[in-house]
């Protein structure tokens, strides 16, 4: 793994002007910590395409932190994707997070000209050469729609070999799953940096619901402690901060090349972990 560690934060585009103003305020607060970049998600089937682009361009031009838009191929034609890449390139964007993307309800797998993330990575390279640093997704605990773990590992290798520069993982709460995943893909010849995705714990019911949907396992001991706190939000947040800080310490000590925080458009939970780790600013 690279010895040059990188730290980044992720946002999702909002549906309201008030939400967008809060997002930009959060980004400005996080910008004071000098992250390497911000990423911005892309709704199922490109449903937030315009809001993603507007957010990314504002983060890049006004907040002055390099921005990395998510780009998914589900539901988009090659012409759509080509247009987005052209606009991002013209705006000075240098990093793309390339994903297959989630399927909106009722949308079949046939939607869009590209069906898999490796095809999207190849397309970006064909269209733009080496202009973009391409991130891909990694799933230490297996993509929820993968047939099995071995098949998912092969999918990751395919994406990496298509021209990716680095990867960001789905969040997890078991550091061993990350280390095992990295060990396996290294054995399969992939040597790009794999950066752990970090989800702060602030609300148990929302976390449990989201984790069940995306295939991220919450270890039983963490679930039971969070359940025991009930509606005691302060205790949930204190416990969550401690758990995530300790996991991040282990990840960095074990050689992880950085951390990518899923902020959910909030600054404080991620910054609490950042400050506990005494990360550089």
pLDDT digits (tens, 9 = 90+) for 73-126: 877 889 989 999 999 999 999 999 999 876 655 555 545 678 899 999 999 999
Q: Which pLDDT belongs to residue 76?
A: 81
Give backbone dihedrals phi and psi of 241, rounded to 5 degrees, phi first: -60, -40
Domain boundaries, the chain: 6-277
Three-state SS at 98:
strand
Structure tokens that stand for 128 in this block: 């733009």
Please, which residues have CB within 8 angstroms of residue 197's CB and are 6 or more apart in sequence? 10, 168, 169, 170, 171, 172, 260, 262
Structure tokens that stand for 104 in this block: 């909106």
Kindly state the percentage of the chain with pLDDT values over 70: 93
Structure tokens that stand for 171 in this block: 């969040």
Catalytic annotation, pick one of 10, 122, 135, 241: 10
Helix 17-31, helix 268-277: angle, nearest 10: 10
- Closest among 160, 90, 84, 94 to 133, alpha carbons compared: 94
Contact 4, 257 (CB under 8 A): yes
Degrees (nearest 5) of the Cα angle 162, 168, 87?
65
Strand partners, 67: 38
Is the pLDDT score of 37 beyond 50? yes
- Closest among 137, 143, 133 to 117, alpha carbons compared: 137
Q: Which pLDDT belongs to residue 42?
A: 82
Task: Note the pTM of the prediction, 2 decimals.
Answer: 0.94
- Closest among 221, 234, 226 to 207, alpha carbons compared: 226
- As a whole number, the mean pLDDT across the chain is 92
Q: Which pLDDT belongs to residue 1?
A: 34
Q: Any idea which fold 6-277 has?
A: TIM Barrel (3.20.20)
Q: Active-site residue 183, yes or no?
A: no
- Closest among 195, 164, 218 to 156, alpha carbons compared: 164
Is the pLDDT score of 210 beyond 70? yes
């Amino acid at each position: 793994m690279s010895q040059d560690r990188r730290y980044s934060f992720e946002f999702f585009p909002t549906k309201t002007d008030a939400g967008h103003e809060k997002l930009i305020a959060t980004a400005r607060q996080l910008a004071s910590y000098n992250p390497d970049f911000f990423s911005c998600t892309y709704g199922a089937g490109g449903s937030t395409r315009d809001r993603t682009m507007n957010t990314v361009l504002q983060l890049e031009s006004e907040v002055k932190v390099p921005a990395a838009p998510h780009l998914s191929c589900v539901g988009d034609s090659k012409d759509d994707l080509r247009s987005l890449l052209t606009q991002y390139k013209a705006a000075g964007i240098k990093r793309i997070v390339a994903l297959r993307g989630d399927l909106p309800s009722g949308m079949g797998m046939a939607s869009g000209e590209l069906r898999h993330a490796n095809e999207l990575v190849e397309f970006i390279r064909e269209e733009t050469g080496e202009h973009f640093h391409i991130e891909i997704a990694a799933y230490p605990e297996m993509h929820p729609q993968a047939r099995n773990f071995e098949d998912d590992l092969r999918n990751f290798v395919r994406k990496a070999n298509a021209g990716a520069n680095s990867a960001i993982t789905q969040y997890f709460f078991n550091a061993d799953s990350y280390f095992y995943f990295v060990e396996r893909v290294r054995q399969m010849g992939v040597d790009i940096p794999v950066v752990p995705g970090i989800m702060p714990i602030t609300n148990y019911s929302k976390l449990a619901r989201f984790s069940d949907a995306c295939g991220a396992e919450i270890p039983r001991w963490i679930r039971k402690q969070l359940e025991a706190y009930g509606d005691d939000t302060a205790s949930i947040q204190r416990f969550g901060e401690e758990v995530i800080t300790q996991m991040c310490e282990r990840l960095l000590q074990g050689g992880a090349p950085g951390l990518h925080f899923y902020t959910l458009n909030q600054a404080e939970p991620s910054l609490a972990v950042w400050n506990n780790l005494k990360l550089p600013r």
